[in-house]
Structure 1
Amino acid sequence: MPDSTRMLALIAACHDEEKLRSWIANARKAEQKDVEDAAFRRLVEILPKEAPGTVQHDFWRTIYAFELILTAERGRTTRLARTRQKVSRVGEIATLRDWALADRSTDGFDMLLERKMPELTGEAIVLRHADQFDARVVSAAQKRLEAAGVDVSRLPRTAS
């Protein structure tokens, strides 16, 4: 079995999308969940064109994560066309606000929680960038995460 510590260090420093995709596929075949997860998270980190640390970068990390999960499950490229159209119309912040205030969680929220990635949910983004949302939106996001069993105090304060 390859030295996963060395592999994880390579992944953490990688900026090559194709290399990361290859590592994800190889780790999946070899059932190396830690390597697969690290490469997936790194890929999602480097895909957005927006500046790291911004709400826009965090938003697109979430979109790419969900699209990658759906693509892997369905065996064909899957894009969130309606979400992308909405963002084109109203922007990332309004989309996040609407997700947080919706009567029920999105499929993406549920899917990310199932995969132990609560930090990638739209609600976590709202909490991370609370200064860009009104108190009602932040409260709704926190309540949804807590209702789903997420300890919001353990969520990362920054995207990475």
Structure 2
Amino acid sequence: MGNERIIEKIFECRDVAKLRAWRSNAQRLGAADVEAAAFAQLILVMPEAEPGTLDHALWRTVYAFEEVLREERGKTILLSRTRQKIKRAGAKQTLIDWALSDAETDGFAMLRTRSMLYLAGEAIVLRFADQFEPEIVAAARGRFELNGLSAEEIQTLADWEG
């Protein structure tokens, strides 16, 4: 029997504790599809912002990163500096600053090593390109190009919906 029924239940769930439990159990049992579904749903329901918005996309990234660090380190980790920056400058300006920074952010590098670049701020800029000036979008695309990603791979990141 496949995991379709449990995955269906996961995508209906809004309870963070249950989603974390499903994810943990799936990891323990080696059920990668269930683990991926639980993680995707977890980071979808955690942000308070309206799904499909720039704010939601950024907060989804913050929560995803915090979840990964929580799992790796065995304790709650908050991205305090990132949270402060978003509060101070706003989601859009935070993404602009990341895209325009001369060097890649620590977060970008950490997401790259975890094969999670679809959550990078630069990927969010590409996903919401119509909300940014062309030079910001070009800078975000350039960050991926500098990391050896092909146009096709970059488009996949831009199209990711979770």
In the alignment, is the contact (CA less than 8 A) between 1:53 and 1:158 conserved in 2?
Answer: no
User: Pairwise CA RMSD of aligned residues?
Assistant: 1.7
Q: Which residue of 2 aligns with 1:132?
A: 131
Q: Which residue of 2 aligns with 1:113?
A: 112
1:120 Cα deviation (Å)?
Answer: 1.4
Which deviates more from structure 2 when the two are superposed, residues 59-68 or residues 148-157?
A: 148-157
Listed as ranges, the gaps of 5+ residues in structure 1 are: none
Residue identity matched to 2:26: A
Match of 2:76 in 1: 77
**Aligned counterparts, 1:1-160, within 5 A:** 3-148=2-147, 149=149, 151-155=153-157, 157=159, 159-160=161-162
CA-to-partner distance for each residue in 1:74-132, whole Å, 9 max, x for gaps? 11100011111111111111111111111222222233233333321111110111122
Higher mean displacement: 148-157 or 57-66: 148-157
Is there any run of 5+ residues in structure 2 with no aligned partner, and where? Answer: none
When the two structures are superposed, what TM-score results if normalisation uses the length of structure 1? Answer: 0.90
3-state SS of the aligned residue for 1:3? coil
Give the alignment's TM-score, normalised by structure 2.
0.89
Do the aligned partners of residues 105 and 83 (structure 1) sit closer, same or farther apart at CA in structure 2, a change above 3 Å counting? same
Matched pairs, number: 159
Local SS of the residue matching 2:102? coil
Identity level (%): 47
